[in-house]
Structure 1
């Protein structure tokens, strides 16, 4: 998917001030069937991804990873209950460790709503 390239470009241009983290999952129609290593290799070879890619996790349901439990539970993060509805949903966390924004799958680094959220 081209979003890997978009986010790699953003990460490369801004890595002094931002961290992009990739959490592969297979929760949406089986679109990430490979192992974490296979996914990372694919992303690096096809899109030049150099930002950290984590082990494959569940982002919804009973086996939801702890980070996604925090991201989607208002009692833990202060406000957000939105779970990813598809691949490439994004969560913006500030330098204080506070969840500040949720973005739908189609939001890219150059989109107006993302640019506004990061103050550009």
Structure 2
């Protein structure tokens, strides 16, 4: 099993490779997303965090969305549909991986690693679980969908990983 987040590669919505080693030394927030969920408006807060802490700062926070259809089949079929929806409705400009399974035996290796690092309770049980990774590539904290990305609890941990 990989030791840090930097040992993973994912495909983007457009089919390009997202090599997480290219984010080495940067904190990362990974979020399992869905376009047709009650928590979907959290995209707005995620975009705000990306704009505030990472988009223009090569050492800043990376936001990485991982769309999934695991919970209530709430994701579009194609990457083009997902990207169009996210851009049109929320102005999403942070990296987005291709639609992937995030729970159970079918989960992609990244989410198996996150569960191993965070323990059983960290396994996503719905869309918009948030995982904060420090500059050393280790999981620091995870949050359920009930905790909004712009909440003081999340921002406090972001500030710690950015120090």
> Same-fold call, TM > 0.5?
yes
Aligned length: 116
Residue number among 33, 38, 50 corresponding to 1:11 in the alignment: 50
* CA-CA distance at 1:33 after TM superposition: 3.2
Secondary structure of the structure 2 residue equivalent to 1:91: strand
Matches within 5 A, 1:1-120: 1-15=40-54, 16=57, 17-73=60-116, 77=117, 79-81=118-120, 82-119=122-159
How many angstroms apart in 2 are the aligned matches of 1:19 and 1:4?
Answer: 14
How many angstroms apart in 1 are the aligned matches of 2:146 and 2:46?
Answer: 12
Secondary structure of the structure 2 residue equivalent to 1:72: helix
Using the size of structure 1 for normalisation, the TM-score is: 0.89
* CA-CA distance at 1:61 after TM superposition: 1.6
How many angstroms apart in 2 are the aligned matches of 1:41 and 1:115?
Answer: 28
Identify the residue that residue 30 of structure 2 maps to in structure 1. none
* CA-CA distance at 1:37 after TM superposition: 2.2
Is the Cα–Cα contact under 8 Å of residues 79 and 98 in structure 2 kept in the other structure?
A: yes
Q: Which runs of 4+ in 1 moved over 3 A?
A: none
Using the size of structure 2 for normalisation, the TM-score is: 0.67
- Segments of 5+ residues of structure 1 without an aligned counterpart are none
How many angstroms apart in 1 are the aligned matches of 2:156 and 2:45?
Answer: 17
Root-mean-square deviation over aligned CA pairs: 1.4
How many angstroms apart in 2 are the aligned matches of 1:21 and 1:51?
Answer: 7
